[in-house]
């Protein structure tokens, strides 16, 4: 169930939409917020520039295993998205997919969001849950010279690399996650990092070090070779310049992403390092605008999917008092509602 149960409003649709809560971003945090807002009886619309729900997970790593979501010892990314979509579906949120939020206009008792497609949404509260906002991968320098195929910045389908010699470049969580996921499928996996220390979680590093993955540190990919498609790569040590050539029919450049808020950066939101600052209720500095998930920032923030779930519930419950001043912030426990 990679698509929501309810058909989305197609791009280009210009009929105005009315909602109690507009969620900008259909990733895990946004989907959980859609469920929770429905649980609180709100009319919900979910807006995303991508053509399907799931955000970065569905776009970049639907088959990768996620290990730090409460209640799941391990869960495939797309399976988590599907479960979140099913959870939200019981309250029939309206999905506005393929629309990018461009402009925010404040009224006396509502705000209006205008999209690049001309669609307008009039809503009592906006909750921004757009992950890292608009993102583009950091380039691999060696890929600028090599014009062939076989270079990728994420792996939506692991099976595409089955039986290949795979070179992964990077030292963060994504690089080590790909290494762990591909190690049982690929002919060989080599991970190259330009430093001798890693940004990845210690548990992931330990698992890769104990596997058949070859890890090369303090080295860089100097060149890629191949006739139309990558076939090998030159790896050069930074300390002494020693070089070696390894087979590689696929190169995964897991070097991170450059993110920005896109058009939302013109809305007047208070920011810190391309993230939206919020208080303990997940309110931004703008009236009727909240934020949750990776895009939200505050002192002590820990960027985890699990954190986003809690922030979504906090944002929705506090938004209730804006939508309905007579409402209580805490609705009671779901187990008491039947």
**Domains detected in the chain:** 17-135+257-336 (3.50.50.60), 139-253 (3.50.50.60)
In angstroms, the CA 221 to CA 167 distance is: 10
260 confidence band (pLDDT: 50, 70, 90):
low
The pLDDT of 286-309, averaged and rounded, is 96
In angstroms, the CA 62 to CA 188 distance is: 22
The pLDDT of 237-257, averaged and rounded, is 92
The pLDDT of 280-292, averaged and rounded, is 98
| CB distance 293 to 27 below 8 Å | yes
211 confidence band (pLDDT: 50, 70, 90):
very high
Statement: residue 13 has pLDDT above 60:
no
Closest to 166 (Cα-Cα) out of 180, 132, 321: 180
Q: Which residues are annotated as a binding site for FAD?
A: 29, 48, 56, 61, 101, 135, 294, 335
The pLDDT of 222-240, averaged and rounded, is 94
331 confidence band (pLDDT: 50, 70, 90):
confident
Structure confidence by residue, pLDDT tens digits, 143-182: 888 878 999 887 878 899 999 999 999 999 889 989 999 9
Between 137 and 235, the more confident residue is 235
Angle between helix 173-182 and 202-209 (nearest 10)? 40
Statement: residue 187 has pLDDT above 70:
yes
Torsion angles phi and psi, residue 54, rounded to 5: 115, -15
CA dihedral 182, 228, 220, 303 (to 10 degrees): -50
Lowest-pLDDT choice from 6-10, 47-51, 70-74, 311-315: 6-10
pLDDT of residue 1: 44
What is the DSSP secondary-structure string of 109-140? S-EEEEETTS-EEEEEEEEE--TTSEEEEPPP
pLDDT of residue 24: 96
Element (H, E) at 172: none
| CB distance 25 to 132 below 8 Å | no
256-291: b (≥16 Cβ within 10 Å) or e: bbebebbbbeebebebeeebbbbeeebbbebebbbb
pLDDT of residue 16: 85
Q: To which residue do tokens 């010279």 refer?
A: 145
Closest to 40 (Cα-Cα) out of 108, 88, 83: 88
Q: Which residues are annotated as a binding site?
A: 29, 48, 56, 61, 101, 135, 294, 335
| Torsion 288-52-76-161 (CA) sign | negative
Statement: residue 40 has pLDDT above 60:
yes
pLDDT of residue 136: 66
Closest to 173 (Cα-Cα) out of 201, 142, 132, 144: 201
Percentage of the chain modeled with pLDDT above 70? 93
What is the DSSP secondary-structure string of 245-266? EEE-SEEEE---EEEE-GGGGG
CA count, 13 A, side-chain hemisphere, 267: 28
Distances (CA, A) of 233 to 170, 243, 250, 302: 15, 10, 10, 36
């Amino acid at each position: 169930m990679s698509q929501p149960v309810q058909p989305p409003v197609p791009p280009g649709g210009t009929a105005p939409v009315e909602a109690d809560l507009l969620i900008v971003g259909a990733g895990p945090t946004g989907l959980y917020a859609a469920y929770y807002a429905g649980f609180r009886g709100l009319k919900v619309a979910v807006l995303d520039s991508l053509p399907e729900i799931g955000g970065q997970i569905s776009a970049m790593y639907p088959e990768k295993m996620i290990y730090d979501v409460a209640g799941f010892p391990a869960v495939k990314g797309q399976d988590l998205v599907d479960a979140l979509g099913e959870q939200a579906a019981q309250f029939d949120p309206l999905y506005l997919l393929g629309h990018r939020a461009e402009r925010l206009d404040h009224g006396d008792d509502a705000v209006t969001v205008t999209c690049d497609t001309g669609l307008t949404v009039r809503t009592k509260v906006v909750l921004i849950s757009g992950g890292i906002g608009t993102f583009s991968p950091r380039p691999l320098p060696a890929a600028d010279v090599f014009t062939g195929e076989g270079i990728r910045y994420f792996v939506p389908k692991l099976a595409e690399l089955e039986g290949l010699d795979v070179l992964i470049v990077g030292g963060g969580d994504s690089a080590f996650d790909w290494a762990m996921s591909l190690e049982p499928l690929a002919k060989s996996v080599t991970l190259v990092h330009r430093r001798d220390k890693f940004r990845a979680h210690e548990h992931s590093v330990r698992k890769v070090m104990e596997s058949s993955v070859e890890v090369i540190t303090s080295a860089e990919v100097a060149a890629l070779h191949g006739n139309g498609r990558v076939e090998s790569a030159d790896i050069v040590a930074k300390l002494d310049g020693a070089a070696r050539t390894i087979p590689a029919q696929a190169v995964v450049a897991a070097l991170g992403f450059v993110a920005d808020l896109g058009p939302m950066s013109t809305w007047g939101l208070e920011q810190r390092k391309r993230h939206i600052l919020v208080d303990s209720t997940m309110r931004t500095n703008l009236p009727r605008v909240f934020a949750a998930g990776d895009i939200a920032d505050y002192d002590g923030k820990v960027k985890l999917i699990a954190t986003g779930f809690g922030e979504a519930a906090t944002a929705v419950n506090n938004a209730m008092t804006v939508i309905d001043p007579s409402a209580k912030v805490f609705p009671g426990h779901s187990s008491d509602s039947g």
